[in-house]
């Protein structure tokens, strides 16, 4: 962070730190009562007369952040007038802006608490080096070495690799139809699913060089428990876990549904249809965008005020576009382009695992569908030439005109009245 200016700024700016000279220290000793404690690091940024300081606590591998330890560091930060405590671990909170460790809120009155997962740090490093750029060649090399280190399996910077101990019993209860809203473990599975979605966003964002984020309502952002409760209710009612991902400049969010009863993952994009042309013309417009998509993609057309659309596989619509037209009188308002994938059952990452099947489904759907779709835009109006006007040859030439208006040209002089 101190060696690569752009990278240091990328990590500290969201924490409210000013732009300035950044210094980093490791294992700085502090006295708290009769104890001497050693936070893993300290970050200090100076700009003019202002100084911003944060303590840093780091965990690697499967090690978890400890409440007591963090609260001690918050006390140290408060006593010394520091601004924040930053934690880094492989834990990924279920929602953005929340912390994976339960902390006494009274400790946060004067000191802010932030968290970064190693996956987030790796994502920021890749995006900075490969897409945003680093001005100094030596600094770019240093950042490249950090990326190479973090990607090594022995670095302790792990990817999301476990759905937790409650995954198997909850999945079995969903399959049997016996899961209830207050069942033990259901909320844990819902939280881990949201964490997996965040990890999928980071992974896809690294490949695209763009900030890919989960789509959440204002209520879900302000009250993460409401989001968890909704996911559990969906599991109980339909056996499905649902999420949305926002990808910059895509036609719309990528909608994801993991159905634990059918063992299928369905991902889809909604594409607004052109607001002009016949229904078959609109279908052909969508087909042109999907000319390289797999033939097993499902294409669904929705008309105004209809809850269900007419659906066909892409291979059938390619042969007969009219199959997707129900009532030729009603206008098609939008298309839903969906792709189905197998759902893994295992809790840990690896072949046949739920985690890997979800990550593959997101990446494959965007590659096969999402990156190909473009929103319709109306063509600009054209000036009409005289030659373009068709004249019926059976009508006497003296009665028609191919001018833009039959009143074009000089008007005859009116005759004087007798």
Q: Residue 391 has what pLDDT?
A: 66
pLDDT per residue as tens digits for the range 293-324: 999 999 999 988 777 888 999 999 999 999 98
Query: Could you tell me if 283 and 134 lie in one domain?
Result: no
Query: Could you tell me if 273 and 349 lie in one domain?
Result: yes
Could you tell me if residue 391 is inside a domain?
Answer: no
Q: Strand, coil or helix: what is 305?
A: coil
For 291, the token pair is: 């000319």
CA separation, residue 373 to residues 27, 242, 368, 408 (Å):
51, 22, 10, 45
Backbone angles phi and psi of 319, in degrees to 5: -75, -40
Nearest residue to 384 (alpha-carbon basis) of 364, 362, 402, 407? 402
Q: What is the DSSP string of 91-109?
A: ---SSTT--SS---GGGGS
CB 21 within 8 A of CB 138: no
The residue length of the chain stands at 418
Query: Could you tell me if 141 and 222 lie in one domain?
Result: no
Query: Could you tell me if 95 and 226 lie in one domain?
Result: no
For 230, the token pair is: 């909704």
Q: Strand, coil or helix: what is 389?
A: coil
Query: Could you tell me if 126 and 197 lie in one domain?
Result: no
Q: Residue 223 has what pLDDT?
A: 84
Q: Residue 308 has what pLDDT?
A: 80
Query: Could you tell me if 130 and 204 lie in one domain?
Result: no
Query: Could you tell me if 28 and 89 lie in one domain?
Result: yes
d(CA 252, CA 268): 10
Query: Could you tell me if 210 and 314 lie in one domain?
Result: yes
Asked which of 351, 372, 393 is the last residue of a domain, the reply is 372
CB 58 within 8 A of CB 88: yes
Could you tell me if residue 156 is inside a domain?
Answer: no
CB 77 within 8 A of CB 84: yes
d(CA 361, CA 370): 12
Could you tell me if residue 402 is inside a domain?
Answer: no
pLDDT tens digits, the chain, 418 residues: what are they?
Answer: 999 999 999 999 999 999 999 999 999 999 998 999 999 999 999 998 899 999 999 999 989 999 999 999 999 999 999 999 999 999 988 777 789 999 999 999 999 999 999 999 999 999 999 888 899 999 999 999 999 999 998 898 888 888 999 999 999 999 999 999 998 899 999 999 999 999 999 999 999 988 899 998 888 888 888 899 999 999 999 999 999 999 999 999 999 999 999 999 999 999 999 988 888 999 999 999 999 999 999 999 998 877 788 899 999 999 999 998 877 778 899 999 999 999 998 988 888 899 999 999 999 999 999 999 999 988 888 776 666 666 667 777 666 666 656 555 555 555 565 5
With residues binned 3-state (H G I as helix, E B as strand, rest as coil), the percentages for the chain, rounded to 5, are 35, 20, 40
Could you tell me if residue 122 is inside a domain?
Answer: yes
Could you tell me if residue 308 is inside a domain?
Answer: yes
196 exposed, middle or buried (CB, 10 Å; 0-12, 13-18, 19+)? buried
CB 43 within 8 A of CB 23: yes
Query: Could you tell me if 143 and 187 lie in one domain?
Result: no
H or E stretch at 244: strand 240-246
CATH number, position 67 = 3.40.1350
pLDDT per residue as tens digits for the range 38-80: 999 999 999 988 999 999 999 999 899 999 999 999 999 999 9
Nearest residue to 187 (alpha-carbon basis) of 220, 229, 240? 229
Q: Residue 42 has what pLDDT?
A: 97
Nearest residue to 241 (alpha-carbon basis) of 347, 154, 354, 326? 354
- Domain residue limits at 58: 5-151
From its phi and psi, is residue 156 left (phi > 0), alpha (psi between -120 and 50) or beta?
left
d(CA 248, CA 205): 10
Give the chain's domain count. Answer: 2
H or E stretch at 169: helix 167-176
Q: State how beta strands 35-37 and 30-32 pair.
A: antiparallel
Contacts of 375 (CB under 8 A, 6+ apart): 251, 271, 272
Query: Could you tell me if 253 and 131 lie in one domain?
Result: no
34 exposed, middle or buried (CB, 10 Å; 0-12, 13-18, 19+)? exposed
């671990």: which residue's tokens? 89
Q: What is the CB neighbour count within 10 angstroms for residue 140?
A: 17
User: For the chain, how big is the Rg over CA atoms in Å?
Assistant: 30
Asked which of 119, 151, 183 is the last residue of a domain, the reply is 151
Asked which of 151, 183, 216 is the last residue of a domain, the reply is 151
Query: Could you tell me if 224 and 192 lie in one domain?
Result: yes
Contacts of 217 (CB under 8 A, 6+ apart): none
Query: Could you tell me if 82 and 184 lie in one domain?
Result: no
Could you tell me if residue 346 is inside a domain?
Answer: yes
Q: How many helices (H) and strands (E) does the chain have?
A: 11, 14
Q: What is the CB neighbour count within 10 angstroms for residue 227?
A: 21
Could you tell me if residue 262 is inside a domain?
Answer: yes
Could you tell me if residue 407 is inside a domain?
Answer: no
Q: What is the pTM of this model?
A: 0.81
């Amino acid at each position: 962070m101190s060696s690569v200016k752009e990278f240091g700024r990328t990590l500290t700016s969201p924490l409210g730190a000013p732009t300035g000279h950044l210094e980093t220290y490791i294992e700085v000793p502090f006295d708290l009562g009769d104890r001497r404690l050693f936070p893993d690091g300290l970050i200090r940024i100076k700009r003019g007369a202002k100084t911003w300081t944060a303590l840093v606590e780091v965990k690697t591998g499967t090690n978890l952040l400890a409440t007591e330890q963090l609260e001690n560091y918050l006390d140290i930060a408060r006593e010394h007038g520091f601004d924040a405590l930053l934690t880094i671990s492989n834990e990924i909170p279920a929602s953005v802006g929340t912390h994976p460790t339960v902390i006494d809120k009274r400790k946060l009155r004067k000191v802010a608490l932030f968290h970064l997962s190693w996956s987030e740090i790796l994502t920021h490093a890749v995006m900075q080096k490969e897409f945003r750029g680093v001005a100094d060649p030596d600094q770019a090399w240093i950042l490249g070495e950090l990326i190479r280190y973090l990607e090594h399996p022995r670095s302790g910077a792990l990817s999301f690799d476990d759905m937790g101990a409650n995954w198997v019993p909850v999945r079995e209860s969903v399959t049997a139809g016996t899961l209830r809203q207050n069942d033990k473990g259901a909320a844990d599975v819902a939280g881990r699913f949201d964490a997996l979605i965040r990890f999928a966003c980071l992974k896809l964002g690294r490949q695209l060089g763009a900030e890919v984020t989960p789509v959440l309502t204002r209520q879900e952002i302000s009250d993460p428990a409401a989001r968890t409760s909704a996911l559990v209710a969906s599991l109980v009612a339909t056996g499905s876990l649902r999420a949305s991902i926002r990808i910059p400049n895509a036609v719309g969010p990528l909608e994801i549904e993991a159905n634990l009863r059918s063992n299928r993952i369905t991902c889809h994009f909604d594409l607004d249809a052109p607001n002009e042309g016949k229904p078959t013309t609109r279908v052909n417009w969508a087909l042109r965008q999907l000319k390289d998509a797999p033939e097993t993609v499902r294409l669904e057309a929705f008309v105004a005020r209809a809850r269900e659309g007419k659906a066909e596989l892409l291979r059938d619509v390619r042969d007969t576009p009219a199959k997707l037209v129900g009532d030729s009188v009603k206008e098609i308002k939008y298309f839903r382009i969906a792709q189905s994938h197998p759902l893994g059952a295992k809790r840990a990452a690896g072949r046949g695992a739920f985690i890997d099947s979800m990550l593959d489904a997101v990446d494959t759907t965007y590659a096969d569908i999402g990156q190909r779709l473009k929103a319709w835009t109306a063509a600009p109006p054209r000036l009409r030439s005289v030659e373009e006007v068709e004249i019926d040859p059976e009508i006497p030439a003296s009665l028609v005109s191919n001018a833009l208006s039959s009143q074009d040209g000089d008007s005859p002089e009116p005759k004087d009245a007798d």
